[in-house]
Amino acid sequence: MDNIKIPILNMLKNHKENNPFSMHVPGHKSGTIIHPLTPSGLSEAMSWDMTELTGLDDLHCPEEGIKEAEKLLSSFYQTDKSYFLINGSTVGNLAMILGAIHPGDTVLVQRNCHKSVMNGLTLANARPIFIHPELDCDGIEIGLTASVIKEYLHKYPEAKAVILTYPNYYGMGMELDEIIHEAHRLRVPVLVDEAHGAHFAAGAPFPPSALQRGADLVVHSAHKTLPAMTMGSYLHLQGELIAAEQVERYVRMLQSSSPSYPIMLSLDLARAYIEGYCKEDKSYFSEQIQIIKDYLSNHSQLAMYESPNADWCDPLKLMVYHRGGISGHQLQERLEAVGIYPELSTERFVLLVLPLLKADHKFYMKELIERFELMEWKAGEKPVAERGFFSGEKGNVRKHSELALSFEEMEKLRIKRLDLSHSIGEISAEAIIPYPPGIPLIQRGERITDEMVRTCLRLLENGTKVQGGTYLKEGQIQVFA
């Protein structure tokens, strides 16, 4: 552990040791010229918030500490090239797609992708063929199978890439190696939004990582599961199916020209953290997970959803539901009342994201369980009507869909507003995105179906936060005229 290098930390420490007098941006002058109400922790953090000074390298043209840190990142993940991203996986997905896809290219895209993938496809002016994911036996959208990818690669021999989301928001994976093998056999690159899987490279008990399985371009939100600051992400590249210079061009073009040093430092530290994640840490982590699992399986009110594909499930993600059937949203309120803040809630469950505990992180589970014990339960909670674990339409999924218009056509059309109930069959002019998880329910350019409208109305009714949908609260949606 001690021999794991953290070059950005050394670089910044060296600079601070020189007792520098700031005559440069940012305006807080290393956390000294600040509003009097600035919390001390923030002003201390500002003292690390530097700019491209002598000795501090430049993210956009790395030659010193940042170059070394990115090399260490690449060597840990065993890639050809890896980049620090200071604008989140959002910019990673944009750069990955713009760098690999040309205007008009047909691409096979897993439908339950994050909105940033869709935005990347829009900017690239691509032609996405959405492949709808399998539902597991409880109606939860998981991934795609190799046979489906094979079928669509055959159906669309002009496809220039496959874009996958692995794992899904709930930590569930899919048979990536066979999918990648099939695509590579046809020399089609596979781009993976592995935002939730930066820690998979540590090996079991975590699912296999997309890079180990041979994906060509992979995006990691280091800030989601590693101890990195929000907006800290990685982009990785390997193999010869991708034009590396193109991807790099977009990484440079799309990111801020004033990259945050605290974020870069946290990215370097997060890489060192996962690199030093040893056998003892993993067995301690597994032990601790078992404690919470045992607790939940013996709980009189709560239970934990266990996916049938346990080998592909990330143990950091816990989907907890109420046995009696109070909704996930209500459960979230109960949890928040005792100070437990879940990642998200759905109609059926709440999602808890556990930390990547190391052997020296004692008491975390104990504290969590103590909070659970504070929850209050009322007698005779009313069960949710018989709708299975998830309220989705089990087994009733379309296999694939296309946008009804090209992105180019959409730019030229006028837009009008319609009541949701009258919008079935029209083409949506806006994306409707329940957030989190940020997966569009309706994509811009998609023909609106009866099921979409029903889901939308249900989400509105139960108060789910929705992005997009300017007039949704008034029960209206914008469509192309």
Ligand X SMILES: Cc1ncc(COP(=O)(O)O)c(C=O)c1O
Residue number, 116 or 288, with CB nearest to ligand X: 116
Question: Can you tell me which of 209, 221, 225, 423 binds ligand X, judged by CB under 6 A?
Answer: 221
CA angle 238, 193, 216 (to 5 degrees): 15
Tokens 């990484």 belong to which residue?
251
Instruction: Supply the minimum distance, in Å, between the C-beta of residue 23 and ligand X.
Output: 34
CB of 445 to ligand X, least distance (A): 20
Stretch in the footprint of ligand X (CB under 6 A) among 17-25, 89-97, 132-140, 151-159:
89-97
For residue 383, the one-letter residue type is P
In this structure, are residues 318 and 343 in contact, taking their beta carbons and an 8 Å threshold?
no
Cβ closer to ligand X: 148 or 267?
Answer: 267
Does residue 110 interact with ligand X by CB under 6 A? Answer: no
Residue 122 touches ligand X, criterion: CB under 6 A: no
Which range binds ligand X by CB under 6 A, 27-35, 83-91, 127-135, 344-352?
83-91
End-to-end CA distance of the chain: 61
Q: Among candidates 356, 354, 326, 357, which has minimal Cα distance to 342?
A: 354
Three-state DSSP state, 160: strand
Per rule CB under 6 A, count of chain residues that contact ligand X: 14
Residue facing ligand X at closest CB distance: 88
CB of 433 to ligand X, least distance (A): 11
Nearest to ligand X of 193, 268 (CB atom)? 193
From the list 49-57, 88-96, 131-139, 199-207, the region that binds ligand X by CB under 6 A is 88-96
Q: Is residue 55 within 8 Å of residue 14, measured between CB atoms?
A: yes
Cross-strand partners of 319: 351
**According to the binding rule CB under 6 A, does residue 195 interact with ligand X?**
yes
As measured in angstroms, the least distance from the Cβ of 266 to ligand X is 13
Minimum distance from residue 221 beta carbon to ligand X (Å): 4
Query: Using CA atoms, how far apart are residues 155 and 132, in angstroms rounded to an integer?
Result: 15
Q: Find how far residue 361's CA is from the centre of its chain.
A: 25
User: DSSP 3-state assignment of 433?
Assistant: strand
Handedness of CA 371, 373, 374, 378 (dihedral sign): positive
Q: What is the C-alpha to C-alpha distance for residues 388 and 384, in angstroms, rounded to an integer?
A: 9
- Under the criterion CB under 6 A, does residue 193 sit at the interface with ligand X? yes
- Comparison of 119 and 309: residue with beta carbon closer to ligand X: 119
Q: What is the DSSP letter of 235?
A: E
88 touches ligand X by CB under 6 A? yes
Interface ranges with ligand X (CB under 6 A): 88-90, 93, 114, 116, 165, 169, 193, 195, 221, 233, 437-438
